[in-house]
C-alpha cells in the first residue's frame, strides 16, 4: 500500500538540514490538501445523501481507529458548538473506546467482533449516517463496523487513502483520497490524516449548510457558550434584521440565545410565531425570510 511504502525521495530525511526537512514536510501537507480536489464529486455525493437521510432525527456516527479515529473525534466534537448539533444525534465508535482518544490501545484496531458489537448496540436506522475512516482502507475494526452498518440500512461513507481497499468497496459512498507515500513510511498522521480532516470538514459543513444551520455565511445555529460568542450572535442579529445593539441583545435574551428566533423577534413576531414559522421551514432562516406568507402569520 502506498501509505506504507518508503518514498525514495525522503529516505534520508532524518539527515537533511532542519530547514530542508521542514520545507519538505510542508510541501507534503500542501500535496495532501490538493489531493482532495480529485475526490470532490464523491464527497459531494456523500454529503447530499447524508443530508437527505439525517432529516430532523438521524444521527452522525463516526467510526475509526488510531489516528483516523482521533481525526473523526475532532470533527464530530465541533458540531455542537459550531452548529448546535444535538449530542443525542452524535455518536463515536472508536477502536479501544475513550482510552484511545488520547493513547494507543494495543490490538483494538484488529477487533472486528467488537466493531460489530458496537454497531449492533447503536441500533442504527435508515436515518443514520456512518462515516468510517481508515488511511490504509483495511483496518479490520473500521471495515467490519462499516460493513455491518450497511446491513442495517444506514447511509455508509468510507474514507480511505489507498485505492481498491475493502473499506471503499464496503461503503455505499466511497471517498478515495490518494495522498500516496508518506514522508515517513506509515506515519499517516501526516499527509493521510491532513487529507482526512479536510474531507470531514467538507462533509460535515456541507451537511450543516443543507440543513439550514448557516445563513449568509453566518453560524446561526451557534451556541452562545461564552462572551465572545454572545457578541458574535448580537452582531449576527443586527446584520440580518437591521436593528440596533440594544434591540439585538434584548431579542437574544428573550429567545434564550437562539439566533434565528431572535432575528424574527426583532422583525415583529412573538416567540410562539417565530418558533412555529421556523418549525414549518425546518429551521432554515433563508426559507423563512424568503416566504412572503410568513409576514402575515
Active site residues: 78, 109
Pairwise CA distance, residues 118 & 114, whole Å: 6
**Alpha helices (H) in 242-282, listed in sequence order:** 245-254, 259-266, 271-280
Sign for the CA dihedral angle at 29, 35, 37, 40 comes to negative
Query: Which among 92, 89, 71 is positioned nearest to 80, based on CA atoms?
Result: 89
Q: 119: which 3 cell numbers?
A: 454497531
Q: 95: which 3 cell numbers?
A: 477502536
Pairwise CA distance, residues 291 & 219, whole Å: 21
User: Residue 265 CA to chain centroid, in angstroms?
Assistant: 31
Residues facing residue 91 across a β-bridge:
61
Residues facing residue 132 across a β-bridge:
63, 158
Q: Are 27 and 20 in contact (CB under 8 A)?
A: no
Pairwise CA distance, residues 137 & 96, whole Å: 18
Sign for the CA dihedral angle at 196, 137, 43, 96 comes to negative
Pairwise CA distance, residues 102 & 123, whole Å: 27
Pairwise CA distance, residues 178 & 200, whole Å: 15
Non-local CB neighbours of 17 within 8 Å, separated by 6+ positions? none
Query: Which among 43, 13, 12, 11 is positioned nearest to 26, based on CA atoms?
Result: 13
Amino acid at each position: 500500500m502506498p501509505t506504507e511504502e518508503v518514498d525514495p525521495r525522503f529516505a534520508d530525511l532524518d539527515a537533511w538540514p532542519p530547514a530542508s526537512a521542514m520545507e519538505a514536510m510542508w510541501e507534503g501537507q500542501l500535496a495532501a490538501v490538493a489531493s482532495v480536489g480529485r475526490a470532490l464529486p464523491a464527497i459531494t455525493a456523500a454529503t447530499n445523501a447524508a443530508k437527505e437521510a439525517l432529516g430532523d432525527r438521524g444521527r452522525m456516527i463516526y467510526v475509526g481507529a488510531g489516528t483516523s479515529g482521533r481525526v473523526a473525534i475532532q470533527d464530530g466534537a465541533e458540531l455542537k458548538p459550531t452548529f448546535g448539533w444535538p449530542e443525542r444525534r452524535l455518536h463515536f465508535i472508536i477502536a479501544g473506546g475513550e482510552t484511545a482518544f488520547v493513547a494507543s490501545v494495543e490490538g483494538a484496531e484488529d477487533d472486528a467482533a467488537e466493531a460489530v458489537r458496537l454497531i449492533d448496540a447503536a441500533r442504527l436506522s435508515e436515518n443514520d449516517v456512518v462515516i468510517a475512516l481508515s488511511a490504509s482502507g483495511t483496518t479490520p475494526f473500521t471495515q467490519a463496523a462499516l460493513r455491518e452498518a450497511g446491513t442495517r440500512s444506514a447511509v455508509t461513507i468510507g474514507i480511505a487513502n489507498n485505492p481498491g481497499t475493502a473499506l471503499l468497496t464496503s461503503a455505499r459512498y466511497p471517498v478515495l483520497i490518494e495522498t500516496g507515500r508518506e514522508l515517513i513510511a506509515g506515519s499517516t498522521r501526516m499527509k493521510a490524516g491532513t487529507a482526512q480532516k479536510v474531507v470531514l470538514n467538507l462533509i460535515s459543513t456541507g451537511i450543516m449548510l443543507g440543513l439550514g444551520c448557516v445563513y449568509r455565511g453566518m453560524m446561526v445555529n451557534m451556541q452562545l457558550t461564552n462572551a465572545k460568542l454572545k457578541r458574535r450572535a448580537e452582531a449576527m442579529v443586527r446584520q440580518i434584521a437591521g436593528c440596533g445593539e440594544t434591540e439585538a441583545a434584548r431579542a437574544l435574551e428573550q429567545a434564550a440565545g437562539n439566533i434565528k428566533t431572535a432575528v424574527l423577534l426583532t422583525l415583529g413576531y412573538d416567540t410562539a410565531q417565530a418558533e412555529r414559522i421556523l418549525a414549518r421551514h425546518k429551521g432554515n432562516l433563508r426559507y423563512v425570510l424568503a416566504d412572503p406568507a410568513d409576514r402575515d402569520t
